[in-house]
Amino acid sequence: MSFFRTTVSAGIVAILFVGLFLGFIFGLALPAIVSSKSERVMSYEEVAAQSAVQEAAKIAVTFGVNSPEYGLAYETLPGVEKYDGPGIARSMPLGTKEVWMSWMKNNRSDSPVFLDQRWDLAMKFVDTKELKHEADVRAFLLAPREHFVRDFNRGKEYMDTWLSIGYGATITDPDVVAMMTTTLDIQPTDRVLEIGTGSGYQSAILAYLSQEVYTIEIIKPLFIETDKLYRDLEKSYPAYGSINRKLGDGYYGWEKYAPFDKIIVTCAIDHIPPPLLKQLKEGGTMVLPLGPPGRQYIMEVKKTATADGVTLSRRDVYNGLHVKFIPFRDEAGTSYSSAPGPEI
C-alpha cells in the first residue's frame, strides 16, 4: 500500500491564508453595509425626484392602459350631503386630555394610542402658536392622521415630519398643516378651496371647520386612491362625505363654485395663479408656499376691495423660515414655476 505526497510551496500557502482572512473580514462587514444602505432615510429631494418613467409604469400596472382610470379623463361630482362637521367639533369637550380622550372613546373608533399622540402633538402646536384658534385645535384633534399616512410609513403617523405617499407626493409636516390652517382662520360659513388633495389629511381637517370644502388633485391614481379612502372612512367619519372632490388642474381652480372665502395651496409655485386670485372673494384669504423650487415661504395673501379697486397684502407667516413642497405642475407634469423644479 503506497501513499502519494504532494509538496505545496510556502507562497501558495500564504496566498490561501490571505484570501481566507479577507473573505472572513468581508463576510462580517457585508451585513452591516447592506443594513446601513437599507435603513438610510431618503431626503426630500430624492422623494420629490422619483422617476416619472417608474411612476408611469406603476400607474399602467395598477390600472391598465386600457382602463377608464388610466389618464386624466374625468372628475368627480361635488358632494351633496352636508354633514355638520363644525357642529361636531364645537360639541367636543377640550378641557383636559383625560376628558377629551373619554369623549373620543365614547363617540369615535380611534385607537387610544393614536389619540394620546394626537393630543400631545396638538398641544405642542398650541404652545408654538401654530394652532391659534380653538376651532383649529378642535379640527386638528378630530382628524385621524393615522388613516392618511400610507401603509409603508406605519409607526410614523404622528412624527412631526413630511412622509412619502407615493406618486412623487408627500403628506405635509403636521406643524405646517397646522400653521397653514390656523392662518386661514376658517369660519363655519366659509367656502374653502384646497389645491392639491394629496393624502386627504388637510381636507380632513377642513371638514371640521366648514361644510363647504372643495379640493382638487391632478395626479389621477392618487386622486382615485384618496377618493376611495374618503369613501371607506365615511361610515366612521361622516364629515368626509361632504368634501367635494375634483380631478383636474388646480391652477385654474374650480370656477363653477367660486368665489371662495379661503383658498389653500399645498404645492409650490413662484407666483400667485391669476385664476385662483380671481376666484378668491374680496375680503378673502389665500395661503400658499410661494418661492423658487426647493425654497418656499408660507405666504398669507389677503384680497381687499378699496375705492381704487382691489389690493393685495402679503405676509410671511413663518417670518423668513423656508419650507419645501412638491412643485405645482400642469397635466403634462411641467412645473408652473419659471425655474424648473425636481421631477416627480
Tens of pLDDT, residues 213-241: 999 999 999 999 999 999 999 999 999 98
Q: Using the 8-state DSSP alphabet, how is residue 249 labeled?
A: -
pLDDT in tens, 185-206: 999 999 999 999 999 999 999 9
Cis-peptide into 259, omega within 30 deg: yes
pLDDT band at 46 (very low <50, low <70, confident <90, very high): low
Instruction: Give residue for cell 423650487.
Output: 293
Q: What separation in angstroms does the CA of 17 have from each of 12, 29, 292, 307?
A: 9, 19, 59, 91
How far apart, in whole angstroms, are the C-alpha atoms of residue 104 and residue 292?
A: 42
Beta bridge partners of 296: 323
- pLDDT computed for residue 306 by the predictor: 84
Q: What separation in angstroms does the CA of 271 have from each of 251, 295, 337?
A: 11, 13, 7
The candidate with the shortest Cα–Cα distance to 72, out of 59, 62, 61, is 59
- Rg from Cα positions in the chain: 26
The model's pTM is 0.78
- pLDDT at residue 56 tops 70: no
Q: What separation in angstroms does the CA of 255 have from each of 249, 281, 287?
A: 12, 12, 18
- Tell the CATH topology of 47-86+159-316: Rossmann fold (3.40.50)
